[in-house]
Chains A and B, each alone.
Chain A
C-alpha cells in the first residue's frame, strides 16, 4: 500500500514537474495575462462574466497576431469570493506564473486586499468596476467610474429633470456604498438640501426581506416633495428589492430609483415590466447604438454561443483597459512594468459608447456618463448623457479629508495623494 502510494506520488511529481517545465518553456514565446475574478462563491454571479470577456478579448487579439510578435496567454485563477485568497492568488499570478499584467477584482475589499501584493512585486492591475474613489495607487489602473463619473451626474440629472427635493440613499452595508453616500450627502447639502430631506439606510449583503424598507420609502415620499431613491444596493439583494417595489406599486413616475450597481446582467433575472422607468447611471449601455458596440456584442454572443447574452459596463471597462495596455506595451516595446506604467499615461483608445477614453495621470480614465431608463426587454434606454467626457476624480472634492488631495503619477511628482494645501506628498491614504 505504502509503496503503491509512494509510486503514485512520484508519478504525480513527475507529471507536475514536466508541466511546470513546459510552462516555463512556453513562457518564452507568449505574453501571459492574469485574470483574477471569482468563479465560485457569492461574487461569481458578476465576476464570471468578466473572466469570459477577458478570454474573448485575448482570443480576438491573438487572431490579430498577438502582441510584440508573441501570442497572448490567459492565466485564470479562482479567488472564490474570499478576500484574503485574492491576495494569495495575485501573488501566485505574479511570482509563479510571471504574468505581465492582471485584470481583476470586483469588490473594493478584494482590491484593497491585493494592493500590497502589486506594490511589493511591482506588477500591474486593471480594476474594471465603479468604485468609491479615495485611492490612487502606482500599480493600479482604475477603468471603472469614480463617484464623479456616476453618482454625482445621476443626482444632478434627478435634480434638474425630475425636480427631486427629497432623497433616500439606500445601500448595502460596506465600504463602497458608505463612502459614496458620504460624498452624496455632502454634495446634496452643498446644493441646499436640508438634513431632514435625506434618509440613509443600510442593509446587509444578500438582504431579501424589503417590505419594511420599501414601505418606509413610501412613507418618506409622502411628505409632499418629489422623492427619489439613490441605490447603491449591491449584488443579489437587488432582485428582491425591485420585486418588492413592483409589488407595492412604487412607480418610477412617482418615486424613481436610480441605481449604480444594476446593469443588464442583474436585470436578466427579473421581469422588468413593473420596473420600466427606474434609472441607472453607467458609462456604457448595451443599447448604445454605434458600429463598435454592435461588433462587440456580436463577438461576445458568438464567443459565449448564446445570442441572448447581455453585455455590461464593467465588460466595457475591461475592453478599454485591455486595449490601453496593448497600446502602452506596443509604445514601450516591452512588457516591463516600469516602462509600461510610464507609457500608459496619455494612452487613448476608442470606447464602446462612441468616443475615446484617455488614461489620465491619476490612473483614472475619461468617460461619458449615461443615464438610462429600464425598458420592458431588460435593456436601458439612454435618456440623458454628459455633453463631453468626464475625467475621473480620485479624491472627492466634497469630503473634507480629501478635497485638497490630487494624484499625479508622472515624473517628477509621482504621488498618489499630493496635498495641494501643504505642498507635500502624503496624507490620507498613504
Chain B
C-alpha cells in the first residue's frame, strides 16, 4: 500500500518535471513568437492588423495586454529602421520608447523615425473583444467587470467554455451578474439545445435593460421556431418595463432643461421681474460668465494643472464679480438715464449686447473656446432603466442652490428688504432714507452677477462662443413672463413647467415642431392670464 503511494508520488513528480521543462521551452519560444507577432501588427492594412490581433488573442498570454491597449489608444508605433514595435510616450519633441512586451524603457527616438500603427473602429472592436477574454482573470474587480461587459457586447459560442470556468471561480456579485448574462448571450448565439436557450432567454429578460433588448432582437432573426414565442414574449416584457422608465427619463430630461432655463432666467427675474428693466444684454452677461470660466481654466491648464477639478469653484466667484462689475457699469453709465422709458432701454441694452459680443469676438476670436468638464462632471450612471449624466445632475442641484440663495438674499437680508421696498414704492422708500439710486445699481449688478454664474454652469453643456448669450435671451424672457413678472417662485415653476412640457412634446412632435407648439401654448396662456402663472398683487402692479 505504502510502496504504491510512493510510486504514484514519484510518477507525479516525473510528469510535473516533464511538463515544467516543456513549458519553459515553449515559454522561451513563445516569447520569440509573441515578439514577432507584435512586430507584425505594423505595416499592414486594417484587415491584416485585425488578423494579427486575433492571433495574439488566441495565445491567451496576458503579456500582450499593454501592447493591445496602446494600439487601441493609438500609442503603438513601429520603428522605421528595423520594424520593431514600441509603445511610446511623448517626451518633449521626441518619443520615449517602451518595450511592447516587457514594459521596460528602451531609449528615445525622433518622431520622424517612427510610424504610427493606424487603428480604426473595426480594429478597436477586435481589440476590445480580445482584451475582454484576456483580462477576465484579472485580480481587480473593476477590470473583470469591464471584461465581462465586453464579452456581453460581443457574445460568441467560443467564449462559453471560458465563461463557465470563470463563473465557477467568481465571487463578486456584480461581476457574476454580468457574467451570467454574458453566458446567456453566448448561449443564444451557440448551437446548444433549445431548452438551454430558453433558460438563457429567461436570464436575459430578467436582467432587462437596453442591451438585453438588442441581444434578443438579434437572436430572434436566427431563432428556432420553438424558441420564437419565448423571445417575442421576452422582448415585449422588456419593452413594457422600459416604457415606464422612459416616462421617468422624460421627466428627468424636462427637469434638466428646466434647470438650464431657470439658470438663464433667474438673473433676468431680478433685472426685468423686480426692476422692470428690459435688459437685452442679459444673455451677454451669461456669455461673459462662460468666458471667465474659460480664462480661469486656461490659467489653471498652463500654471496649476493639479487644480483642474476645482476650476469651476474658482470661476464661480470670479464670474460673479466680473459680470457684476460690468452690470454696475451698464446701470451707472446707461440705464439710470433711461428709467421709465422702456423702449429706449431696450434699444440701448441691445446696443450694449452687440458691443459686448463684438468685443469678445475681437479679443478671443470668433471660434468656440474649449471649456473642459472636471472629472466629477463627466460620464453618466444608471438608475434603474434611466441614464443620468453627471453634468446635468449637478446643474439641477446648482440651479436650485442659486435659487435658494437668491430667495434668502431677497427675503432675509437688509439689502433684500431695501430692494423690495424700492421696487414696491420708490418714493416712500426714498423718504424713509433709502438711497434709491444705489439700490437700483446694486440690484442690477446682482442680476448681472447671477447671470454670470449661470454662464459658468452653461459653459459645461454648451458652446463657449460669442453667440452663447443669444440662444438664451428669448427663452429667459419667456420663462420670466410665463412665470409671472416680479415673482421668483413663478420663475422657478415656469422654468420647470416649460422644460418638462418641451421634453414631453419632443418625442412626438420633433425638436422643431415641439418648440413651436410650446410657443403657441404660451401665447394662448398669456392671452388668458396676462400676468403669468403667479401674478403679483399690490401697488407695484399699478406703478
Contacts and interface: CB of A to CB of B under 8 A. Distances in A.
Nearest to A172: B512
B539 to A, nearest CB: 39
Interface in B166-214: 210-211, 213-214
A48 interface: yes
Contacts of B373: 243, 271
B372 A383 contact: no
B46 A222 contact: no
Given A208-B462, A209-B260, A268-B368, A376 B74 contact: yes
B380 interface: yes
A256 interface: yes
A269 B511 contact: no
A216 interface: yes
Nearest to B221: A224
Interface stretch (B51-59, B61-69, B324-332, B385-393): B385-393
Contact of B210 (A41, A42, A49, A219): A219
A247 B367 contact: no
Interface string B243-260: 000000110010011001
A211 interface: yes
A161 B122 contact: yes
Interface string B392-422: 1000000000000000000000000000000
A203 B370 contact: no
B218 A44 contact: no
A239 B361 contact: no
A204 B515 contact: yes
Interface in A199-225: 201-204, 206-209, 211-213, 215-216, 218-219, 221-225
B298 interface: no
Contacts of B436: none
A336 B437 CA distance: 65
Given A239-B463, A383-B118, A211 B366 contact: no
Interface stretch (B7-15, B483-491, B502-510): B502-510
B463 A213 contact: no
A354 to B, nearest CB: 17
Interface in B105-146: 118, 120-122, 124-125, 128
Contacts of A211: 253, 256-257, 389, 392, 503
A45 B366 contact: yes
Given A222-B214, A239-B463, A269-B465, A375 B74 contact: yes
A307 to B, nearest CB: 13
A225 B366 contact: no
Interface in B453-483: 461-467, 470-471
Contacts of A244: 389
B215 interface: yes
Interface in B328-374: 357-358, 361, 365-370, 372-373
Contacts of A224: 214-221
Given A45-B366, A209-B253, 11 more contacts: A40-B357, A203-B511, A204-B512, A211-B256, A224-B214, A243-B391, A247-B380, A248-B389, A266-B368, A373-B121, A383-B46
26 contacts: A40-B361, A173-B512, A204-B512, A206-B467, A208-B260, A208-B461, A208-B463, A212-B250, A222-B210, A224-B214, A224-B217, A224-B219, A224-B221, A236-B368, A236-B465, A243-B461, A244-B389, A249-B380, A252-B121, A270-B370, A276-B74, A277-B124, A373-B120, A375-B74, A376-B73, A383-B120
* Cβ-closest 5 pairs across A and B: A269-B368, A224-B218, A224-B217, A222-B214, A247-B389
